[in-house]
Amino acid sequence: MRLPLARPLLLPVLIATVLVTGVARAATDSRAADLLPLLLALVLVLLGAKLGGALFERTGQSPVLGELLAGLVLGNLGLFGYHGLDRLRDVAGIDLLAQIGVLLLLFSVGLETNVPKMMAVGASSLLVAALGVAAPMVLGYFSSAWFFPEHNPLAHWFVGATLCATSVGITARVLADLRRTASTEGRIILGAAVIDDVMGLIVLAVVAGLIGAADRGEAFHAASVLWIVGKALLFLIAAVVVGSWLSRHAFRVATRLAGEGVLLTLALAFCFALAFLAGAAGLAPIVGAFAAGLILDEVHYRDLKARDPGNRDIPELLQPLTTFMVPVFFVLMGMRVDLSVFGSAGVLAFAAVLTAAAIVGKQICALGVLERGTDRLAVGLGMIPRGEVGLIFASIGSTLRIGTQQVVGSEVYSAVVVMVALTTLVTPPLLVWRLRGRVQS
């Protein structure tokens, strides 16, 4: 029923009903007060993401580039004298929503492929990953040795280590936007990105261990590295044995549960559980989310799917969640790029060399692709982005010392920040250019 009076009544109506609807709760409610900065941040992030994304999508780019640039703008308005949004990136909760967003993204990407398909390109992924760790590391060593000949060789290796790990979020997102997740190139990139992330962490543990030993004048203990690998193995065995058993049976049992939303709730719980276990085992939570997607298969839940009024499968149910939360992650990544770092010529020169080392190093790794007819350049481009891992390595390095010398000083740290920003921003357009060309050929 739509009343003909609706419009003229609108103002008095809302003053009468909702007016009265209003007044003072947040003022007395300490919890609600925390929510307000998050709400404002979400409005800005969502609108910025959609505007930026639409702009770049119209020019044939991946929307993720628009989201990153929207974040870059929102996070750097301080440079133009506007400081009202300076605290936006630190708002409580926005980081957690972003992290849940990237978990759901990797879960979705995992759902589009499965273990046998990943295994079919497993040898290539392993080779690409190994080369993708070794080449940037050696190049990073020489870059650092060239700029800072007075530093300890172990410090050069540490700089090399910051170049190792591919940030799988960016590439996964571009592949998903282009619907190329399940292509041979897509699977090799995803597998290799995950593997070289791991190798990078082993490298970190070894190099940091060697530095600590050198600083204390002790011998290096290999046991700590073994423990890292051992925990990871424990998780993986649990994921395979318990996870795939659960996936096969829990969804069937759950068919007996009354109520709506059982399928989505169970899928989310499965994703979060594996992400938690991965994290508890010392792995990245996104590795767990990706594994959950790989293990979970539509045959496991066809009865639950049939019960949904729209016969929706898990990817369809996840889509509104990723629409909401995934852009939060990428806008936040953009926000965290501090453009003021670009102001120093010395830093920029070293950053340019590091970025070149990072990009060239990952092109070398494409030689590891074994499949014929596969686009090696696309694989190499997909491996370029360095994300938070590089920054985390650098910040660990800044806490380490050899004698009186800081392993990662402020100049090197700033250069790593620039390298991460450049490799992140440069990848979406390059990958879109290469893969979109291939789709049409």
Q: Among positive and negative, which fits the CA dihedral 413, 348, 156, 421? A: positive
253 binds its own copies (CB under 8 A): no
332 close to 96: Cβ distance less than 8 angstroms: no
73 binds its own copies (CB under 8 A): no
**Of the ranges 142-150, 254-262, 413-421, 427-435, which one interacts with its own copies (CB under 8 A)?**
254-262
For its own copies, which is the closer residue by CB, 232 or 365?
A: 232
Query: What binding mask, one character per residue, do residues 213-232 give for its own copies by CB under 8 A, x or -?
Result: ---------------xx-xx
Spatial distance between the Cα atoms of 398 and 416, rounded to a whole number of angstroms = 12
Non-local CB neighbours of 209 within 8 Å, separated by 6+ positions = 220, 221, 224, 225
Amino acid identity of residue 418, one-letter, is: V
Of 145, 210, 341, 396, the one binding its own copies (CB under 8 A) is 396
Minimum Å gap between C-beta 68 and its own copies is 15
Minimum Å gap between C-beta 62 and its own copies is 10
Amino acid identity of residue 17, one-letter, is: T
Spatial distance between the Cα atoms of 33 and 189, rounded to a whole number of angstroms = 44
63 binds its own copies (CB under 8 A): yes
Query: What binding mask, one character per residue, do residues 283-302 give for its own copies by CB under 8 A, x or -?
Result: xxx-x--xx--x--------
Hey, what are 71's tokens? 């974040």
For its own copies, which is the closer residue by CB, 147 or 272?
A: 272
φ and ψ of 221, to 5 deg = -95, 120
125 binds its own copies (CB under 8 A): yes
φ and ψ of 3, to 5 deg = -70, 140
C-alpha distance from residue 378 to each of 23, 185, 366, 373 (Å): 57, 7, 8, 12
Hey, what are 224's tokens? 């700590």
Residue among 108, 134, 247 at smallest CA distance from 190: 108
Minimum Å gap between C-beta 106 and its own copies is 11
Hey, what are 117's tokens? 């398909």
252 binds its own copies (CB under 8 A): no
Minimum Å gap between C-beta 153 and its own copies is 22
For its own copies, which is the closer residue by CB, 199 or 364?
A: 199
Hey, what are 388's tokens? 């938070």
Hey, what are 236's tokens? 């993986």
235 binds its own copies (CB under 8 A): yes
Of 118, 333, 354, 412, the one binding its own copies (CB under 8 A) is 118
201 binds its own copies (CB under 8 A): yes
Minimum Å gap between C-beta 115 and its own copies is 5
22 binds its own copies (CB under 8 A): yes
Residue among 68, 5, 74 at smallest CA distance from 44: 74
373 binds its own copies (CB under 8 A): no
96 binds its own copies (CB under 8 A): yes
272 binds its own copies (CB under 8 A): yes
Spatial distance between the Cα atoms of 249 and 252, rounded to a whole number of angstroms = 5
For its own copies, which is the closer residue by CB, 320 or 437?
A: 320
For its own copies, which is the closer residue by CB, 55 or 360?
A: 55
237 binds its own copies (CB under 8 A): yes
> Number of residues in contact with its own copies, rule: CB under 8 A?
127
- The C-alpha angle 218, 220, 225, rounded to 5 degrees, equals 150
- If 0-12 CB within 10 Å is exposed, 13-18 middle and 19+ buried, where does residue 357 land? buried
3-state secondary structure (DSSP) of residue 106: helix
328 binds its own copies (CB under 8 A): no
398 binds its own copies (CB under 8 A): no
394 binds its own copies (CB under 8 A): no
Residue among 199, 208, 216 at smallest CA distance from 407: 208
374 binds its own copies (CB under 8 A): no
* Residues 334-353 within binding reach of its own copies (CB under 8 A): none
Spatial distance between the Cα atoms of 82 and 84, rounded to a whole number of angstroms = 6
Minimum Å gap between C-beta 313 and its own copies is 12
242 binds its own copies (CB under 8 A): no
Of 140, 169, 327, 334, the one binding its own copies (CB under 8 A) is 327
